[in-house]
Structure 1
Amino acid sequence: MAIPEFLREIRASAGHQLLFLPGVTAIVFDDEGRVLLGRRSDTGNWAVIGGIPEPGEQPAECAVREVYEETAVRCEVERIVLVQAREPIQYPNGDICQFMDITLRCRALTTECYVNDDESLEVGWFEPDALPPLEDFGTQRIKLAAGDRHAPTWFEGMPQE
């Protein structure tokens, strides 16, 4: 995955030490209830769409931008699904990051999709009950986003109704 230029600049002075960063995940549904996924070029695995906001960029703007950049689908954000601090991860180059993930439910405004950058090998729409293999990260978020559109935001460690 491409490292944003602002992170390259931070890493130039911070080295590989832990950086706490915002992350945005977009769970995009079309009017038929299908969910948009991309098969990542770095791992070859299917995954939900997401990325890191640019400095000054709002989470909803980031979601809309990332979805378009990766899939060419235009979408709008409907609601916050989940907010969760993830466990720190170490990348093969030695960089350590911990992400505060904000997952947003989005509605597709267009449905034609295609690989629109170098981060994906393929993209496509899937029925929620016929998803390709996904990590728990993606399946949990799809399940929460597919539920009641008026459900409260899910927060790690807080009682859920």
Structure 2
Amino acid sequence: MPTPDFVLSLREKIGTDLLWLTGVTAVVTRGEGDARELLVVRRADTGALTPVTGIVDPGEEPAVAAEREVLEEADVVAVAERLVWVQALPEMTYPNGDRAQYLDLVFACRWVSGQPAPADGENTEAFWASVTDLPPMSDDMRRRVEAGLADDPQARFQR
């Protein structure tokens, strides 16, 4: 589902006013070394290539949200292994006028099972890409992927 029910309910009350939401980015990899691959999806709304992203439901643990989004959007089971980056994204306005700003939590995730497929209509493609030859992505998404691929044991924080 593109917009969670709780967001639709909030929108009934606040209209298009700015809504602060928590989002997750799941940087899912499988394999090792030069054979390491990244799970990539093509968004149905913009056509952009990205890692899996989504919104944390009220009361949901963020790592669980990342794992849920990967399964819902790409039909892949993954385990969130570590938080790699915390950042407040710029305010955005959707085509319908809704305004939102996200606290984005980027997780490095490990593939467990499943072959990528666009599972819920939010994406038109889901596939593995070599980490040594990634497809074109926005600078923002590329930075999220780089954080997820890095071996740094500590999360990055914007200041």
Q: Which residue of 2 aligns with 1:152?
A: 154
**Structure 1: distance between partners of 2:158 and 2:114:** 32
Q: Secondary structure at the match of 2:117?
A: coil
Q: Share of identical aligned residues, percent?
A: 38
CA RMSD of aligned residues (A): 1.1
Q: Which residue of 2 aligns with 1:10?
A: 10
**Structure 2: distance between partners of 1:113 and 1:22:** 25
Aligned-pair CA distance for 1:52: 0.4
Q: Secondary structure at the match of 2:46?
A: coil
Q: Secondary structure at the match of 2:11?
A: helix
**Structure 1: distance between partners of 2:158 and 2:41:** 26
Is 1:138 the counterpart of 2:156? The answer is: no
- Once the two structures are superposed, the pairs formed by residues 63-82 of structure 1 within 5 Å of their partners are 63-82=66-85
Q: Secondary structure at the match of 2:113?
A: coil
Q: Which runs of 5+ in 2 are unaligned?
A: none
Deviations 1:48-95 (A, max 9, x none): 101001111110110010000011110101100100001100001000
Q: Which residue of 2 aligns with 1:127?
A: 130
Q: Secondary structure at the match of 1:67?
A: helix
Q: Which residue of 2 aligns with 1:62?
A: 65
Number of residues of Structure 1 aligned to a counterpart in Structure 2: 156
Q: Which residue of 1 aligns with 2:23?
A: 23
Aligned-pair CA distance for 1:121: 0.5
TM-score normalised according to structure 2 size:
0.94
- Once the two structures are superposed, the pairs formed by residues 85-124 of structure 1 within 5 Å of their partners are 85-124=88-127
Letter matched to residue 46 of structure 1: L
**Structure 2: distance between partners of 1:26 and 1:2:** 17
Aligned-pair CA distance for 1:133: 1.0
Q: Secondary structure at the match of 1:92?
A: coil
Q: Which runs of 5+ in 1 are unaligned?
A: none
